[in-house]
A and B are shown apart, each in its own frame.
Chain A
Amino acid sequence: MRNFRAKVKRDRYVGLIALPGFLYLLIFNCVPMAGIIVAFQNFSFRKSIFQNKWVGLKWFTKFFHSIYFTRVVRNTLVLNALVLFSGMLFSILLALFLNEFKNQRLKKFCQSATYFPHFVSVVVLVGIMTRMFDTTTGVVNTAIAALGGSKVDFFNSNVWIRPLYVASSVWSGAGWGSIIYMGAITAVDPTLYEAAMIDGCDRFKQMLHITLPSVKPVIITVLIMNIGKMMNLGATKVLLMYNAATYETMDVISTFVYRTGITQGEYGYATAIGLFNSVVNILLLVTANYISKKTTEVGVF
C-alpha cells in the first residue's frame, strides 16, 4: 500500500498529462456508450433510452438467422482484408521508394501528388470508374478490344468487381497512408546509414536492414489497429458499385443492414449489428495483438 502511494506520487505529473485526454474520453466516449443498451430494446422515438421495451437478443437472432449472415460477414472480412494488405503494401513500398529519391523537389512533388486521391469523394471516384470501365464506351474495354480481347462487363461480374473495389481503394488510400511511414523513416538516425555505407552496404541492403526494421513498430501497430476495424466497412462505396448481379461478392454487413434495417427506423437492429461488429473487432484485435507480441515482441496493447 505504501508502495502504491509512492507510485502515485512519483507518477503525478504523467497523471496530470494524461488527465485531459482521459476526461475527454470519459465524457464524450463512455457516456454515449450507454446507448449500446438500445441493441437489446425496441427503440421508440418518443421514449427515452431507459424507457424502451426490452427485447433481449431478438435483433441478434434476427441477424444470425438470416440466410445471408455468413455471406455478408465473409464479404466484409474479405474485402477489408484485401484492401488492408494491398493498401499497406503499397503505402510502405511508396514510402521506401520515395526515400530513395535524390531529387528532393521531385520527391516532394510526387509525395504531394499521391495524397490527392484521398480527397476525391467516393461519388466522384465511382463516377469516374463507371465511365472508365463501361462496357461500351469505357477506355478500358476499348483498349481490351483493340488488343484483341473480348470486352468485360466489370460492374456486373462477380469476378471483376472485387478487384475493382480493392484497386480503387488502394489508389485512394496508398498515398495518404504512406505519410506515417515517411514520418517513421525520417526519424531514423542518419548515423546508422553512414555507418552502413562505410561498411560497404549498398542502398538496397540499407533499406532492408536499417530502414525497414526501424519502421517495423509503426507497420505492426497500424496493421493490428486495422485488424481491429475489420468488421467495419462503410456502405457508401459498395452501394454505389454493387447491384443484384454482384450481391454474392459485394453485399457486406452495412449494405445488408441498410437494405433491411436502417431506412425502416429499426434503430435497435442497427445498434445490435454495430455491437456485434465491435465484439468481433475486439476479439480480432486481441488475437492479433497476442500473436504479434509472441512473434515480434511488438504489440499495440
Chain B
Amino acid sequence: MKKSISLLLVLTMLLGFASVAARGEAIEGVPDLRGKTVRLLSMETYASSGSFSDIMPLFKRYEEMTGVTIEWDSFSTDYVTVMQTRLAAGINLPDVVSLGGSLDLSLASKLIEDEMFVNINDYLDDLPNISRFFNESRPDIRRSLTYYDGGIYLLPCSTYNNREDEFRKLQNGGDNIIWYRKDIADKLGIGCPTTIDEMHALLLAYKDYDPDMIPMLVRDWTTWCSPYVFAGSYGLHFEQMDSSSDYFYPDENDRIVFEPITDAALEFVTEMNKWYSEGLFGFNADRQALAASGKAGAVWYQKDANRISTNKLLAENGFPEGHFAPVPWLYGPEAKRGIGMRAPFGGVVGITDTENAKTALEFLDFVFFSDFGIACQLAGVYGDNWYYDENGMPMLNDETLQAWYVDKTGNWRTVGGGVHIRMPQIKDYNIEYGLIQQLIDCGINEPFTEESLNAYLDWQDAAFETLPFMFYTQDEMEEYNSLYMDIKTYVQESLTRFIMGEEPLANWAAYKENVQKMGIEKVVAIVQSAYDRYLSN
C-alpha cells in the first residue's frame, strides 16, 4: 500500500514537472533588444526590501528574456523636484520618465509643449501590444491622451486593459463607502439609512447613545476622505478635494458647470453645516483603529473593509457583537445620488527624445502591455511564482501562496510586480480576480461577505465617471492657471468655512459674486473648449 502511494506521488510529481517544463519558456512576442540599453526614471515606492531594481527578480528576468540592459534611476521622496531638475538640466536624460502619481496636467503639457517626449504614434507599427491597447481595449484612454496636435506623447499608468463597465467583479482595496455600526442601530431600532435625512437621524442617534463616540468619522478636510463624501447625494461631483480633481462637470447637454457655486452646492453646504454644528463629524487619520476600538458610529472606509475585517478587530477589542455594515449610496433631497469612479488611469509616463526611445518603447510594450507581461506584474516571476493552468490563466504555485500567507502586504512587490513603481502598470480584471480567488481559497484573503458583495453592486449603480483627462493648449493653460488658482483656493476655503460655521451661510450670495468677479466664466469657457475638443477626438 505504502509503496503504491509513494509511486503515485512520484508519478504525480514527475507529471507536474513535465507539465511545467512543457509550458516552459514558450512565451511569444518577446522583443529582441540584445545589446541595447534602456534608462528608466521612476518613482519607486513600497519596495519592501532592497529597493534597488537590479535585484528585483522580475526585471532581472526581463533582462534575460529580451537581452536588454536596464539602468534604473529611481528614487522616491521629492520626486517631482528631482525629476524636474534632471530634465531641466538636459544632461543624462533618462529614457522613460514617470510623471508621478497624482497626474499633473500642467506639468505634462509643459513637457510635451517643450518637445521633451516622442510621439508614440510614430512607433505604433512596432508596438503590437500598445496598439492593441489603444485601439481595441481602451480607445477611451487613447482619446484622453491625444494631444491637441493629434500626437500621443504619454502612456497611462495604473489602469486596466479591460473596460470598467465590463467589471462586475471585485477589486482589491481602494475605493470607499460608508460603514455603520449595525448592532447599535439594531438596538436602537433604526434600519439601514437610504437617504441623507435617515443618515442624519442615525448619526444623531449614535450621539445620544454614546456622547464619547464619533458619529461620523472621516479623515480630514482635503483628501478623498472628508465630509465632501456626501456631495454625491446632491448631484455634485466633487467628493474629493485634493489637487487631482476639480469642480467642473458637464451637465446633460455636455455644458460644463462650475459646481461649487450652484444651488445644489448651497443645499449641500447647509446640510453639512447643520451636521457639523451638531458635532456629528470627527476627524482622524487612524480610522480603522478608532472604528475597531468602538469609538465610531459610522466611518468612511474601504469597500472591502469587511474582508480586511474591521469587524474582527471589533471583536478582539471587546465588542463581540460589534458589526459594521455597508450603507448604500444615500439619496439626497432630489432623489439623486452618486459616487465617482476611479479615474481611468493614475499617472503617466513619457519617453524622452533620446537615441534609446525606440528600445524603451519596445521594452515597455512587452513588459507592461503584453498579456504575459500583465500576468507577471500581477503574479510574479513566471515559473518561480506562477504557471499557466489549462485555461491559460495564471496560477500561483504553493510556495508563493505560502509566502503571501506570511506577509500579507503583497509579496509580489518584492519581486518587482505590483502597481507601485509608477511605470505603465496595466492590470487585467480577469487575471486579478482569478488571483484573489486563489488567495481566498487558501485562506489568505477573507472571502467576500454577502454584505460586501451587495455594497459593490450598489456602488456600480451609483457610480459616475469623473471628468476625463483633457489637454489644454498653452494659451488656455496660461489663462487657466492665472485665473483659476486663486479661485480654487478661495472656493476650498469658503466651502470649508461655511460648513464649519466660521462663515455664516447668509454670505453665500457674496461668495458666489466673488467667484464670478474673479473670472470663473472665462475658466469655464476654457474647460468647455477643451471638453468639446475631447468629445470630437
Contacts and interface: CB of A to CB of B under 8 A. Distances in A.
| Chains A and B touch (C-beta atoms under 8 A apart) | yes
B485 interface: yes
Interface stretch (B111-119, B153-161, B369-377): B111-119
Given A46-B114, A156-B221, A260 B87 contact: no
B222 interface: yes
A199 B489 CA distance: 65
Interface stretch (B143-151, B437-445, B492-500): B492-500
A44 B500 contact: no
B353 to A, nearest CB: 9
A171 B399 CA distance: 50
A266 B106 contact: yes
Nearest to B78: A236
A244 B221 contact: yes
Interface residues of B, number: 41
Contacts of A267: 84, 88
Contacts of B243: 259, 263
B90 A46 contact: yes
Contacts of B518: 67
Interface residues of A, number: 33
B119 to A, nearest CB: 15
A67 B114 contact: no
Contacts, number: 95
A75 to B, nearest CB: 13
B7 interface: no
A264 B481 contact: yes
Contacts of A262: 80-81
Interface string A34-73: 0000000001111110000000000000100011100000
Given A156-B500, A265-B110, A266-B106, A243 B220 contact: yes
B222 A244 contact: yes
B226 to A, nearest CB: 9
A115 interface: no
B151 to A, nearest CB: 16
Contacts of B221: 156, 243-245
Contacts of B486: 66-68, 260
Contact of B111 (A136, A243, A260, A265): A265
Contacts of B84: 265, 267
Contact of B107 (A48, A153, A248, A264): A264
Contact of A259 (B214, B241, B482, B489): B489
Interface stretch (B282-290, B324-332, B359-367): B282-290
Nearest to B497: A245
B298 to A, nearest CB: 14
Contacts of A265: 84, 104, 106-107, 110-111
7 contacts: A67-B490, A136-B214, A244-B495, A245-B221, A263-B104, A265-B110, A266-B106
Interface of B: 80-81, 84, 87-88, 90, 104, 106-107, 110-111, 114-116, 214, 220-222, 241, 243, 282-286, 290, 295, 481-482, 485-486, 489-490, 492-493, 495-497, 500, 502, 518
